[in-house]
Amino acid sequence: MKLVENRGGERYGKTLVGGHLINGRTVGENSKERFQSLNPAWTSDVVADFPQGGAKEVAQACDAAKAAFAKWKSTPAPVRGEIIGKIGALIREQKEFLSRLLTREIGKPLREARGEVQEAIDTAAFFQSEGRRLYGQTVPSELRNKALETHRRPVGVCGLITAGNFPFAVPSWKIIPALICGNTVVWKPSEDAPATAFAFANIFKAAGLPDGVVNVVYGTGAVTGQAIIDAIDKGLINKISFTGSTEIGRKIGEVAGRNLQIPSLELGGKNPMIVMDDADIDLAVTGAIWSAYGTGGQRCTSLGNLILHKKIADKFLNKFVPKAKSLIIGDPTFNEGITYGPLIADRFLKRYLAHHKMAKKSKTAECILEGARVKKGAEPQGFCGDASKGLFVTPSLYDKVLITDEFAQTEVFGPTIGVIRVEDFDEAIAAANGTKYGLSSSIYTDNAKLRLRFKNEITAGMSSINNSTTGAEAHLPFGGNGWSGNGTRESGIWVVDAYTKWHAINTDDSGGLQLAQMDTEEVHGEGAADLDGLMA
Ligand code: NAD
């Protein structure tokens, strides 16, 4: 690893030149095939310069992970937990540094970056103690002198692919539980955030994790990500866990399926928020603003479809639109007070600018806020940064969208929402469930009956009542249904199911061969069922 001069971005720091982490060694630092991560608030700031891993590096990393597996899985789980605890402590020690690096690399406001790093600390704290549980069960046998029990066993080498919008928290959701369960890891971080991943990898090393237990191969999706997928077919990976777009997730699901593996797929969303006519409008407006435009709409749980009861729709928008217009956009490294920073990468900017074409296909939709790239000399009020240097955009809003519109059915992954006006709760819940996605959802109402109906009828994996569509805690399951995921969950005890397989054991101390069902004692009841009448 070295830090080199960063012409064009000196005020942000130097450029990190790093390499893959394979079997405890940094490799590929001098490789010619490389890619760079740029600070999206100031794109001439080259944050990191990394080698692009291919099939060779992925195979080496898988071999290292396989070789390390036997020893790591037999390390007592509470001892594995101690290392996880150390990882958490090191992250805590470096929280400010990591948050600032994350902000520089993906443009997330510092307050959110600190929250993201905190989520990894919380995850480590939770799973350190899971090392002292990882409970199996004792199960009664139907035969005498026979004991039944279950144990969780690790799955083996886990291939992990993660997205760039949560480059620290989401990898921690996968790596930490995989490790506590006794698995070893080959991680392909997002090409948007290799420096953040490199810092994380260094913490694993510093915490005393044995060589080969966590390996990191950097690169783009098309090359390195594809090499990870190919490694499933080659039998080098026993479990794949992916966070990213639905398109790539479906592809991974197909490959895992033909190898009879259960993948963990955490994918996109078009998340609905319902605001009923009895809602506290100011509270709902605040929640909707954050859900729609916080993080520049670049959360998988960001609001997509805002479903307003017709009676309050105008009142709601009269409060919402001025707030959306006055959001503070800017460079997060030097301005702590911004609402959101730049879009993470150029491909997100292109997709955001192109979404208007899709929204305008609607026969009914009316454009209220035509979000556009911020131009030098025409910056919105309060803007802080250099518009000509970064990937900054203003928020977008379409009213009178129909749930059947392509815009209402498609994740944009930027600060844009569509308003769908409805007559009543039945229409609202139909719209909320009216996309193929099913990640997050929210309702604003104080009506207890409607809250109950919402809880029972919404098909998303996560729901908020009188709160935003976003947010996660280390001990609550996170994940979606339909096109948002295959039903596996991250976080909390539920993720342990993703990284272990059950082992059922029976011990027979009877001294003979006893066969279940055949040698089981028969129980004869006193009465007799008279079934003759049934046939009459
Ligand atoms: P993406 O699918 O393009 O990339 C995600 C990861 O997959 C990256 O590491 C990328 O390099 C890799 N990748 C890309 N193409 C690949 C290929 N052909 N083969 C193998 N790997 C490949 O996603 P993105 O656009 O960078 O990220 C945004 C998406 O991630 C959004 O859809 C968002 O909703 C989703 N996301 C979901 C969650 C969740 O928990 N459900 C969390 C964060 C982001």
- For residues 405 and 374, the answer to whether their CB atoms sit within 8 Å is no
Q: For position 533, what pLDDT does the model report?
A: 74
Query: Ligand 1: distance of its center to the CA of 228 in Å?
Result: 14
Q: For position 535, what pLDDT does the model report?
A: 67
Q: Whose CA is closest to atom 25 on ligand 1? A: 245
Locate the ligand 1 atom nearest the alpha carbon of residue 344 and give its number: 26
Locate the ligand 1 atom nearest the alpha carbon of residue 219 and give its number: 11
Report the chain's terminal Cα–Cα distance, integer Å: 86
Q: Is 62 designated active site? A: no
Q: For position 307, what pLDDT does the model report?
A: 98
- For residues 435 and 305, the answer to whether their CB atoms sit within 8 Å is yes
| Element containing residue 480 per DSSP (H, E) | none
Query: Ligand 1: distance of its center to the CA of 439 in Å?
Result: 15
Q: Whose CA is closest to atom 14 on ligand 1? A: 221
Q: For position 525, what pLDDT does the model report?
A: 79
Backbone angles phi, psi at 239, to 5 degrees: -155, 135
User: Which residue segments constitute the domains of the chain, with CATH numbers given?
Assistant: 2-267+490-498 (3.40.605.10), 271-473 (3.40.309.10)
Locate the ligand 1 atom nearest the alpha carbon of residue 188 and give its number: 9
**pLDDT per residue as tens, the chain (536 positions):** 899 999 889 999 999 999 999 999 999 999 999 999 999 999 999 999 999 999 999 999 999 999 999 999 999 999 999 999 999 999 999 999 999 999 999 999 999 999 999 999 999 999 999 999 999 999 999 999 999 999 999 999 999 999 999 999 999 999 999 999 999 999 999 999 999 999 999 999 999 999 999 999 999 999 999 999 999 999 999 999 999 999 999 999 999 999 999 999 999 999 999 999 999 999 999 999 999 999 999 999 999 999 999 999 999 999 999 999 999 999 999 999 999 999 999 999 999 999 999 999 999 999 999 999 999 999 999 999 999 999 999 999 999 999 999 999 999 999 999 999 999 999 999 999 999 999 999 999 999 999 999 999 999 999 999 999 999 999 999 999 999 999 999 999 999 999 999 999 999 999 999 999 999 999 887 777 777 777 66
Q: Whose CA is closest to atom 39 on ligand 1? A: 266
pTM of the prediction? 0.97
Cα–Cα distances in Å, from 110 out to 99, 115, 124, 167?
Answer: 7, 8, 21, 14
Residues lining ligand 1, CB < 6 A?
161-166, 170, 188, 190-191, 220-222, 225-226, 229, 243-245, 248, 266-269, 300, 411, 413, 439, 480
Q: CA–CA separation, 463 vs 441, rounded Å?
A: 5
Among 68, 30, 74, CA closest to 49: 30
For residue 447, the tally of other CB atoms under 10 A from its CB is 15
Locate the ligand 1 atom nearest the alpha carbon of residue 348 and give its number: 25
| R_g of the chain, CA atoms, integer Å | 26
Among 97, 101, 109, CA closest to 299: 109
SS (H, E, C) 15-41: EEECCEEECCEEECCCCCCEEEEECCC
- For residues 99 and 242, the answer to whether their CB atoms sit within 8 Å is no
Q: CA–CA separation, 374 vs 354, rounded Å?
A: 15
SS (H, E, C) 160-198: EECCCCCCCHHHHHHHHHHHHCCCEEEEECCCCCHHHHH
Question: Which SS3 state, helix, strand or coil, does residue 252 take?
Answer: helix
Query: Ligand 1: distance of its center to the CA of 515 in Å?
Result: 50
Q: For position 402, what pLDDT does the model report?
A: 98
Q: Whose CA is closest to atom 15 on ligand 1? A: 221
- Which of these is catalytic: 62, 158, 181, 300? 300
Residue partners of 358: CB distance under 8 A and separation at least 6: 406, 407, 410
